[in-house]
Amino acid sequence: MERYRGRNKGFAARLAVSFSRLLSAPNDMDIFKLTRALVDIESITGNEEAAGLFLNHHLAELASQTGGDVETMPVEPNRFNVFAWWGTPIVTLSTHYDTVPPFYPSREDDQFIWGRGACDTKGIIASMITAARGLLDEGIRNFGLLFVVGEERNSAGAYVAAKQPRGSRYLINGEPTENKLALGSKGALRYEIVASGKMAHSAYPELGDSAINKLLDALQRIRAVELPVDPLLGPSTLNIGTISGGRAPNVIPDQARAEVLIRLVDEGTETDLRIRKAAGPDVEVSQVLRIPAVRLGALEGFETTVVAYTTDIPAFGGSWGQPFLVGPGTIHVAHTDEERVAKSELLEAVGIYRGMVKQLLSM
């Protein structure tokens, strides 16, 4: 069994001690306490180390009691995936443990657990680990748990895992789908658009060249682009997520930039051509990320849906097996200050994951 051996070896032990008041031994753990413990570890993308250390320690304890193995997969300095498995991993339950900013800690009431990552996706992690315990109690093996970094930005952890397959034939990816099996998910096409100009005193604009005006003109043309529509996934959508630039109100701006994200319903080739043509010659268009839309598997007996967001599934590229997508919580509160997950859905997800693993192992 391989434990994490990074620069903070002692930190794993200190972290485990700090959560010992929240979590007892893995065999006695409570899914709600585990969800809150994970939420309370800040793991905004790029800063996942503490959560990774906690997961590695927790899964190592479970594996040591049940005859499993655990390893870490380095992604970047102080960033790593965590993989635990029992027997030959034919089915792998996987999700990410990074979150979007800003961090805020957990709280709970009778119905919900609240906090950053509650539904996206730390409650899902807790459901998967609890499902694994239940499967092991039934004597079922030949499955694994894979928790990765970086999904919220560029799927860095999934791309690394894709290069290190472990023979899994089926991948159950966890994202908030309200516990419905997703038949498809949209992709993502992200750009950085940069305009350059010339500074001048704002009283004499004819002496300068406004980068902001160039950028705004390009963005207006981009907004008017007709984007593809798919019968299953619906319309492509475009979001101008950030705009920055300029020096001061009385200075003609010499630089400006924007970030644009398109939710794809196909592989994105035609959309890319249309965006670059609309942007025009006065700006630079750099493609930062391109993930195609995907069609996903269905299983008998599971309610289905379609989701508009992007997941790690395309980054895995099939190397961890045929993908399925399901998880507790709704995406409508993810990435908001109202993020929460229903306790009833966490418990329901445990049964769904156990049922899927057993069905897939029998195929």
Q: Which residues are catalytic?
A: 151
83-86's contacts with Cβ under 8 Å and 24+ in sequence apart are: 83/144, 83/145, 83/146, 83/147, 83/161, 83/166, 84/59, 84/60, 84/132, 84/144, 84/145, 85/143, 85/144, 85/145, 85/166, 86/132, 86/136, 86/141, 86/142, 86/143, 86/144
- Are β-strands 322-325 and 170-173 bridged in parallel, bridged antiparallel, or unpaired? parallel
| Phi, psi angle pair for 251, to nearest 5° | -125, 130
Q: What residues form DSSP beta bridges with 146?
A: 83, 94
Angstrom distance (rounded) from CA 84 to CA 62: 9
State the chain's maximal CA–CA distance in angstroms. Answer: 79
For the chain, how many residues are written? 363
- If DSSP codes are grouped into helix, strand and coil, which group holds residue 297? coil
